Chains A and B, each alone.
Chain A
Amino acid sequence: MLKFFNELGVYFILLGKVFKKPDKTKVFWQQLVFEIDKIGLDSLGIVFIISIFMGGVVAIQTAFNIDSPWFPVYSVGFTVRQSVILEFSPTIVSLILAGKVGSHIASEIGTMRVTEQIDALDIMGVNSANYLILPKIVAAMIINPILVVISMFLGIFGGWLACYFTGLVMSAHYVYGVQLDFRGYDVFYALVKTIVFAFLITSASSYKGYYVEGGSLEVGKASTKAVVYSSILIILFNLILTQMLLS
């Protein structure tokens, strides 16, 4: 327990070093663009595949479960839209990114730590935490919401594809359901979650990498831990934010 509070303290001290004005604004922008490219565009493929299949599965499951005359067929479209927007896109995509981006960040920063590259930055007088971590956090907080919005469209489209090819629900009914009773606040809620998750993933993984001690074995361990921590944080904050924003 003491260890937990100790780690939390170190984490906040690190954040204090991260959120400073960058030494050189121009260098910061270059880093930011680079990270957006690395974190965002590199993840498009996996987001694409997961979203389409996710939407498809939700559509088929709903269609089978509401196989009763009391439920209108358009509720399939409605259900797909609601679950994709509220939960699947923000949370599942963030979890996937925690695995992909989190492990990458922790191993990159961890390797720099054990090969003394971070010491080299510090000696020059560069604020290494700020230089390395801030662009990553900001980049993820910008690009992850965009990925999630893309994922929402793809998920709903995936549901449509599934209905169309299985013939469970007619296209027109599905589309009607998707448009029914749409609330912009749901999207807002989803994006707030995503931004918080993006911050948690990048900051927790950077923290794990930044304080690695030892060699490549420890870097590997840190990268695994980064994914575990990020995932747990996402699940935890999902509950907290849902309670705060939807009730």
Chain B
Amino acid sequence: MIEVKNVNKSFNGKHVLKDVSTIFEQGKVNMVIGQSGSGKTVLIKCIVGLFEPDEGSIFFNERNFIGLGFKEKKEIRKEIGMLFQGAALFDSFNVEENVMFPLNMFTEMSLSEKLDRVNFCLKRVNLENVNKLSPSELSGGMKKRVAIARAIAMNPRYLFCDEPNSGLDPKTSILIDNLISEITKEFNITTIVNTHDMNSVFEVGDNIAFIYKGLLWWQGTYLEIMDSDNTELNDFVYATELMKKIKKK
């Protein structure tokens, strides 16, 4: 469980996150939705500590992350897996070395144990026989899957995904979404997914938080979003003609 309390963040006087408070539950896919530029990425980066919030606290299972030293943060970070918008695979390493990297840095496992773990993770994301390929030889969807494999290599308790299906075709998107959802349930992870893809929200979202102009505007479950009468939320969710038609039915 991750609890965000009164988080504020500004960049050069521009107030991006305004007093955001919410709870992300364990074993659930917690979705953060909102328009481009609304502050989703900034929120996620504040939670994982890539940005320091100006105010507020962030609790990882009751442990406040803010104000910890590098060493204590490191202990929590080992429990965090993150999937970046552009996958962020290390391009000087091949697929196997990418997934093995956290194991090399933080465990004392033997090479064969590490290889077993790597192959387990790659198999979990339905990738086999790609161990020796370099990231530049992979398609966008494969990169995302390798990145998921790397993110789960250390058995994380928390998984963050920033726009996991941007730039992917609808079929591959669903594949990635389902993968994230399955892994979340299977390993009882607290998962937070940033997206503006309503498809994913209806497909795998358990809890949904809607960010509007830096404020946490609305939150609820997947069922509640359908019947909400919040104007801004409806404008966002039913922005496309297709979604409007679905709503009418």
Once A23-B105, A27-B104 are accepted as A-B contacts, the answer to whether A116 and B86 lie under 8 Å apart by CB is yes
B7 proximal to A (CB < 8 A): no
Q: Let me know if A120 and B73 touch, CB within 8 A.
A: no
Q: Let me know if A120 and B82 touch, CB within 8 A.
A: yes
| Set of chain A residues within 8 Å of B45, measured between Cβ atoms | 119
B74 proximal to A (CB < 8 A): yes
Could you tell me the distance between the alpha carbons of A167 and B105 in the complex, rounded to whole angstroms? 61
Q: Let me know if A115 and B88 touch, CB within 8 A.
A: yes
Q: Let me know if A117 and B90 touch, CB within 8 A.
A: yes
B102 proximal to A (CB < 8 A): yes
| B178 smallest CB distance to A (angstroms) | 23
Q: Let me know if B105 and A124 touch, CB within 8 A.
A: yes
| Set of chain B residues within 8 Å of A23, measured between Cβ atoms | 105-106
Count chain A CB atoms within 10 A of each CB in B74, B89, B102, B105 and give the residue with the most. Answer: B105
* Number of chain B residues close to chain A: CB under 8 A: 25
| A25 smallest CB distance to B (angstroms) | 11
| Set of chain B residues within 8 Å of A122, measured between Cβ atoms | 49-50, 77
A125 proximal to B (CB < 8 A): yes
| Set of chain A residues within 8 Å of B63, measured between Cβ atoms | none
B94 proximal to A (CB < 8 A): no
Q: Let me know if A119 and B105 touch, CB within 8 A.
A: no
Contact of A24 among B70, B78, B88, B104 (CB under 8 A): B104
Could you tell me the distance between the alpha carbons of A124 and B50 in the complex, rounded to whole angstroms? 11
Within 8 A of A (CB), among B44-100: 45, 48-50, 70, 73-75, 77-78, 80, 82, 84-86, 88-91
Once A125-B78, A127-B70 are accepted as A-B contacts, the answer to whether A120 and B104 lie under 8 Å apart by CB is no
Q: Let me know if A115 and B105 touch, CB within 8 A.
A: no
Q: Let me know if B77 and A125 touch, CB within 8 A.
A: yes
Once A24-B105, A27-B104 are accepted as A-B contacts, the answer to whether A123 and B48 lie under 8 Å apart by CB is yes
A126 proximal to B (CB < 8 A): yes
| B92 smallest CB distance to A (angstroms) | 8
Could you tell me the distance between the alpha carbons of A108 and B77 in the complex, rounded to whole angstroms? 25
| A211 smallest CB distance to B (angstroms) | 14
Contact of B88 among A27, A120, A126, A127 (CB under 8 A): A120
Once A117-B91, A119-B50 are accepted as A-B contacts, the answer to whether A126 and B105 lie under 8 Å apart by CB is yes
The proximity string for A residues 8-44 relative to B, scoring 1 for CB distances below 8 Å and 0 otherwise, is 0000000000000001100100000000000000000
| A139 smallest CB distance to B (angstroms) | 15
| Set of chain A residues within 8 Å of B50, measured between Cβ atoms | 119, 122-123
Once A117-B90, A119-B50 are accepted as A-B contacts, the answer to whether A125 and B106 lie under 8 Å apart by CB is yes
Q: Let me know if B105 and A116 touch, CB within 8 A.
A: no
| Set of chain A residues within 8 Å of B104, measured between Cβ atoms | 24, 27
| Set of chain A residues within 8 Å of B73, measured between Cβ atoms | 125
Q: Let me know if B82 and A27 touch, CB within 8 A.
A: no
| B183 smallest CB distance to A (angstroms) | 17
Could you tell me the distance between the alpha carbons of A117 and B81 in the complex, rounded to whole angstroms? 13
Count chain B CB atoms within 10 A of each CB in A24, A115, A127 and give the residue with the most. Answer: A115
| Set of chain A residues within 8 Å of B74, measured between Cβ atoms | 125
Could you tell me the distance between the alpha carbons of A125 and B85 in the complex, rounded to whole angstroms? 19
Could you tell me the distance between the alpha carbons of A188 and B105 in the complex, rounded to whole angstroms? 38
Identity of the chain A residue whose Cβ is nearest the Cβ of B75 in the assembled complex: A125
Could you tell me the distance between the alpha carbons of A123 and B161 in the complex, rounded to whole angstroms? 12
Could you tell me the distance between the alpha carbons of A127 and B70 in the complex, rounded to whole angstroms? 9
Could you tell me the distance between the alpha carbons of A23 and B154 in the complex, rounded to whole angstroms? 16
Within 8 A of B (CB), among A39-71: none
Q: Let me know if B105 and A123 touch, CB within 8 A.
A: no
The proximity string for A residues 99-116 relative to B, scoring 1 for CB distances below 8 Å and 0 otherwise, is 000000000000110011
| A125 smallest CB distance to B (angstroms) | 3
- What 20 additional pairs, Cβ within 8 angstroms, besides A124-B154, A126-B105? A23-B105, A24-B104, A24-B105, A111-B91, A115-B86, A115-B88, A115-B91, A116-B84, A117-B88, A119-B84, A120-B88, A122-B49, A123-B50, A123-B80, A124-B80, A124-B102, A125-B74, A125-B75, A125-B78, A125-B106
Query: Which 8 residue pairs of A and B lie closest in terms of their CB atoms, listed nearest first?
Result: A125-B77, A125-B74, A116-B88, A120-B88, A116-B84, A123-B82, A117-B88, A124-B102
Q: Which residues of A contact B (CB under 8 A)?
A: 23-24, 27, 111-112, 115-117, 119-120, 122-127
A-B residue pairs in contact (CB < 8 Å), sample of 22:
A23-B105, A24-B104, A24-B105, A27-B104, A115-B86, A116-B84, A117-B89, A117-B90, A119-B45, A119-B84, A119-B88, A120-B82, A120-B88, A123-B48, A123-B50, A123-B77, A124-B77, A124-B106, A124-B154, A125-B73, A125-B106, A126-B105
